[in-house]
Amino acid sequence: MQKDPIRIVILGGGTAGWMTAAGFIKGFKPEFASVRLIESDEIGTVGVGEATLPQLKSFNDFLGLNEPEFMRDTNATFKLGIDFRNWGREGDSYIHPFGIHGQAINGVPLFQYWLKARANGHDSDLESYSFPIMACRNLKFDFPSEDDRSVRSTFAYAYQFDAVLYARYLRRWAESKGLQRTEGKVVEVNLRPEDGFIRSLTLASGEVVEGDLFIDCSGFRSLLLGQTLKVPWEDWTPWLPCDRALAVPCDRAGDFTPYTRATAREAGWTWRIPLQHRTGNGYVFSSRFTTEDRAAEVLLAGLDGKAQAEPRLIKFAAGRRKQSWYKNCIAIGLASGFLEPLESTSIYLAQMASDFVMRLFPGKDIDPKLVAEFNRTIDIEYDRVRDFLILHYHANQKPAEEDPTGLWRYVREMTVPDTLIEKMETFKHRGHIHRYRDGLFAPPSWIAVYTGQNILPRNYDRQVDNMSTEAMLEKMREMQERVAVNVEGLPTHADFLRDYCFDPSAKMMQEAGNV
């Protein structure tokens, strides 16, 4: 047993900093670890990560947060997936759901039966077998069923919220549990001469904050891991050339969707995220293929409602630090790496990293084996998210008339990582998806993007031949009907929110018009 608690110093607030702080306060007894967070109100945060993945609900449940209260305080809505528009060709639309494409038949995924049916001339819509997709298409929502036999059990859900409000909510929660927050700006990082570990941080006030383990949540600056400890950056911009984003909120208007929308544009893509009090919008684009003025023009022209501010420019580069844990410093969030928010992975990657820290938490003497395992796992997560994002770009089929800037030809013809080539070739053989012990995206996610962007296998799993074509088609029709009937019985997303967590101060109903 250690005599003194391990002193953890978190540099930076924002979503990453406060998620990490809240997790540590919940996960560690005070006699084991003391947690102190340093942030400066003078330093802004990116604050546009408004769309999440279902893993965030698990984090909130771990903290014991009250879901309706959390949703009211962050103006949150529910999210069942992402609607991708114009990514293959203009006019295309597919949804990446947080769930499966129909329930398995005799232990074989329905997707394989769909492939056989298609090969035999029965070309039904794959989306019609997916409960979460059809709920999205019909603007419906309800919680998943606990009955595994029901089609209503075949999905999970996430949130769309105001990321700044979420960080504030976590701050209030963490401080109520005893977290020590220090307002201050770091002016010097002091290293131990004997081994180069971080010894302390000197604040502008003159205070010196010592620690045993330092968590770098300083955002793109990466003050501790990047600037001070000189951990090199691995550049992924040749594969993910978008390096700018313009973000702007607008008045609530249009469909109150239980999903995020990502629409391919001439030099990148735009997002649309409906919250209770407003709609979040942005344009992720490449400065190699367009100008900031043209990007602003495209973004503003596509808003549902009146812009509430001037578009805010954010500059970034896709990539990551070669090591996220080095010596006694761990970078979490943007200080560790950045991948554009196409699949809402930014908050997830911060959550996952803080969770791994808790699992591998060291003593005051840091074990290099724990450091190596943490970095291995982080590398896997980033690599597989990277490949998944590249797939969206690389699998486009836009002709010259739909590609005025040349971006889409570039990403279609570029050389992609060998890991992605292997995944694509395996899928094209007979629809097989790699199953990983680690990593975020499961087979239904890959199937949604592959099929949505017209990449289909040459064959199917021969296990489906154990059932006659007639019996197979009948079971598929039954599943379509069950999905349709169950979706029809759901409340609308807007009605569910009104009854569950509506904040009257957000004036959602008034601003949403006929919602």
Tell me which residues are annotated as active site. Answer: 79
Sign of CA dihedral 288, 293, 296, 301: negative
Write the DSSP string, 225-267: IIIIT-PPEEE-TTTS---EEEEEEE---S---SSEEEEEETT
Distance CA 166, CA 169 (A): 5
Q: What is the dihedral of CA 107, 111, 112, 116, to 10 degrees?
A: 140
Compute CA distances 247 → 78, 164, 210, 270, 307, whole Å: 21, 14, 37, 9, 10
3-state secondary structure of 224: helix
Distance CA 215, CA 367 (A): 17
Sign of CA dihedral 363, 365, 371, 372: negative
Per-residue HEC secondary structure of 426-457 comes to HHHHHCCCCCCCCCCCCHHHHHHHHHHCCCCC
3-state secondary structure of 407: helix
Please give the backbone phi and psi of residue 451, each rounded to the nearest 5 degrees, phi first: -70, -35
Write the DSSP string, 375-390: HHHHHHHHHHHHHHHH
Please report the beta strands in 296-450, taking only residues with DSSP state E, as ranges in sequence order.
312-315, 319-321, 325-326, 329-331, 337-338
Asked whether the beta carbons of 342 and 318 are under 8 A apart, the reply is no
Asked whether the beta carbons of 86 and 98 are under 8 A apart, the reply is no
Distance CA 280, CA 65 (A): 24
Asked whether the beta carbons of 171 and 163 are under 8 A apart, the reply is no
504: which 2 tokens? 């009257």
| Residues facing residue 314 across a β-bridge | 245
Compute CA distances 337 → 366, 374, 453, whole Å: 23, 15, 27
Please give the backbone phi and psi of residue 181, each rounded to the nearest 5 degrees, phi first: -105, 135
Can you give the C-alpha Rg of the chain in angstroms? 24
**One-letter amino acid of 298:** V
